Every structure is written in structure tokens, then in C-alpha cells.
Structure 1
Amino acid sequence: MSEPEIPSAYVRDKRTPPPSREELRARIPGWGADLDPADRPSYPKLQYPAGTGAHWDFPDRQPGAEGRERSVEHAFVTPVFGTAQPLHGLSGAVRRYAYARFSEGRLAHWLLLIAGDRVEAWGSTLRSLASTRPIGPATGLRSEFTHGGVASRRGRSDVRHQVLDPVVVAGPWIAATGAAVLGVRGLVRAVRR
């Protein structure tokens, strides 16, 4: 029994030179159809005629760019930017620091933006707890019993991790409740003295 031939893709030194354009065009129907820019379907989009209809070389700037977050690698804020969700509070300070201090190519920039998002999420949860209609934890506990949740867990690949689900979902709420109880106890003791 002879050994199978090893394809040249798996050999350090290529034994045969790559095929030429003509050989590929003869062997593969339609190969190289987009080599000539005139034959490309998108080629007209790549041309910039003199009369585009725009009345500017650079678009007019939107007012209010002062104080907007801008990455350190950019010279200025883009001509048009969103103002619907201005940065505010502690989460805004974290995000401003990320933009002012770190380049977008740095991990610290993105981790600070994620931290700012988490601070905002906790802030909105705390604000909802102070309102008349607080947002409860999205545990899905009721559906576990009413819609066959326990039975649907059998046969899944993450069976070993399912014991952590209650800890991950309910753990922060239990910890926050415990902290609130301890805080109220401490406040009551301080008032009694």
C-alpha cells in the first residue's frame, strides 16, 4: 500500500508554482471577471464625477461640539453627532475619562466604557427602586414552573453551569437587599443614640 500524496498546501516548500492568470481563467469559468475595473458591477460607484450636487467640500459643522466626547486619535468631533443621550452622573464621568485618556486601540478605553455602562445600569435600577414601580429582577423563575423550564434544561450542553444561574441572577439582588438592611439598621442605631 502506497502512502497518499501530501497536498502542497501542507508542505513547507511549495513544489509547484501557483498557476498563472491565464491558466486559472481557462480552468475556472468566470475567474478574474473583476480584474478590469470597467467590468466591475460596482465600478460606477467608485468614480467621483465633478458634479455631485454637493454645495460643500467639507460638510457644515453641527453646533455644540464643545464638551462632546472625542477619541484622542481624532482631531475633532465628526461634523454630525447625536445629542439625544448626553453623558451624565458618575457613568458619564467614567466615559469621559475613557475618551480623554485612552485611545480606541487600548483595552482600558473599552473596559472603562463597559464599566460606565454597568454604573448606568445600576443607577437606573436604584432610581427605579426609589420610584413607585420598581423594576424587579428578571429571573424568569415563574416560567421555570409554568412553562416546563426544568424539563427543557435536560440534554443541553451547559448543564454543569445551570446551578450558577440562580446565583448570577438573584445574587446581586440578595446582596443589595442585605446591604440595604444593614444600612437601615446602622441608621436606626445612630438615631437612637
Structure 2
Amino acid sequence: MPYESTKPTRSPSAEELRARIPGWGDDLDPAHRRTWQERSDIGDTGAHWTFPERQPGGATRERSVEHLMLPPVFGTAQPLHGFSGAIRRFAYDRLGETKNTRWLLLVLGDRVEAWGAHARSLFTRHPDNPMTQTGVLAEFEHRPLRSRFGRGRRDLKHSWMDPIVVAGPWVAAVFVTASLLRRIARRD
């Protein structure tokens, strides 16, 4: 049945559903629902649980808008910071977990954090090396054609994008840096 904004006038009966959908209603009889949740012969397992004491510092932590409170214990190792933190905080504070926009913003926050880490590495003694850290060189060393074709791999449809996704940000960074250096040189 296609989605409609109004409620259908009549729901199908159990007999109609059973005739139309193979296996519909097989679990209606409790004798056919022998799952671990409904077993009465387990007895006392000795398991007990009380609500633990709350961890301090929860007022500043991000939580989903669907939840009234944070769990009693939560991680504090990676607090949100910078522009990526602002993107993530906006996603947590304004959008529910069912919204694709929320998840896309969280992914964008991760990408912004990764770009910031790559940019910061340029000012260290050991900047990132995309050729060795992305595994591009390993592609040529371990039978690249034989491992890709004739094996039923699903990633062949998007493999043409891999060099763009991996090398694209680096090429863009070199282009932007070179153009900025040219502008500075022309002004002097």
C-alpha cells in the first residue's frame, strides 16, 4: 500500500492479511513465540541493577534532543572544539536522530576536523604524507588489476572517484597555497 497522508478508511482483517502475506500471524499464538523474553522457566538469575551515581559535568555535554538526560556515565576524552565542534553542537542541539540533516552535519564536522588536523600537520616536523598514509602505493605493489576485476567486487562502481576523494583535498590545498603566495609576491 503506498503512503497516504490520510488514514485509510478500513484496515484489512486478519484473514485478508493471512491470505495476502505468506506467514502473517504465525506468531500470534503464544505457543509459537518461544523467545528468551517470554520464557517463564528461567527462574531467578541473581541479576540486579540499581541506577548508578551520576558523573559530574553533564551540563556541558551534547545529547540528542530525544533524550531528557545523559546516561549516568559518558565519555569526556574528546570534547567538542573549534568550527567542527560548532557544527556538531548545532546538529545535537537542533536536530533529532531521525533527521538525515543531523547525520550529514555530524559527518561534515568529522571532515572539518580531519582537514584541520591535516592543516596543523603542515606546521610540524613530520607533516602528513598522503602517498604512504592512504595506501596508494600498496595498490600498485599487490596485483591491482587481478585483485579488482573478476572477483565480484562491489566497489568498482565508485573506484574512479577514489583518487579524487583522496588526492582532491591535497591538490586543492596546494592550489590555494600557491595562489595566496602569488598574491603576496605581487603586492610586494
- Normalising by structure 2, we get a TM-score of 0.70
Counterpart amino acid of 1:155? G
1:182 aligns with 2:179: yes
Structure 1 segment 51-130 matched on structure 2, within 5 A: 52=48, 58-130=51-123
What residue ranges of structure 2 are gaps of 5+ in the alignment?
Answer: 1-16
Question: Equivalent of 1:131, from 107, 114, 124?
Answer: 124
Counterpart amino acid of 2:66? E
Change beyond 3 A, Cα 1:151–1:34: closer
How big is the shift at 1:183?
1.3
Native 8 Å contact 2:27 2:33 kept in 1: no
Counterpart amino acid of 2:39? P
Write the distance in 1 (CA, Å) between the matches of 2:21 and 2:95.
44
How big is the shift at 1:76?
2.0
What residue ranges of structure 1 are gaps of 5+ in the alignment?
Answer: 1-8, 26-30
Change beyond 3 A, Cα 1:187–1:12: same
Write the distance in 2 (CA, Å) between the matches of 1:178 and 1:168.
16
SS at structure 1 position matched to 2:60: coil
2:8 paired residue number = none
Counterpart amino acid of 2:102? H
**What is the CA deviation profile of residues 98-140 of structure 1, one whole-angstrom value per residue up to 9, with x for unaligned ones?**
1111112222221111111111111111111221111122453
How big is the shift at 1:186?
1.3
Structure 1 segment 11-26 matched on structure 2, within 5 A: 12=20
1:3 paired residue number = none
Write the distance in 2 (CA, Å) between the matches of 1:82 and 1:38.
37
- Normalising by structure 1, we get a TM-score of 0.68
Native 8 Å contact 2:64 2:96 kept in 1: yes
Native 8 Å contact 1:144 1:150 kept in 2: no
Write the distance in 2 (CA, Å) between the matches of 1:189 and 1:131.
28
Count of paired positions: 166
Write the distance in 1 (CA, Å) between the matches of 2:108 and 2:63.
18
Q: CA RMSD in A?
A: 3.5
1:37 paired residue number = 39
Counterpart amino acid of 1:12? R
How big is the shift at 1:180?
1.1
Write the distance in 2 (CA, Å) between the matches of 1:97 and 1:84.
20
2:148 paired residue number = 153
1:142 paired residue number = 137
**What is the CA deviation profile of residues 48-76 of structure 1, one whole-angstrom value per residue up to 9, with x for unaligned ones?**
7xxx4x6xx53221111121112112222
Q: Percent identity?
A: 46
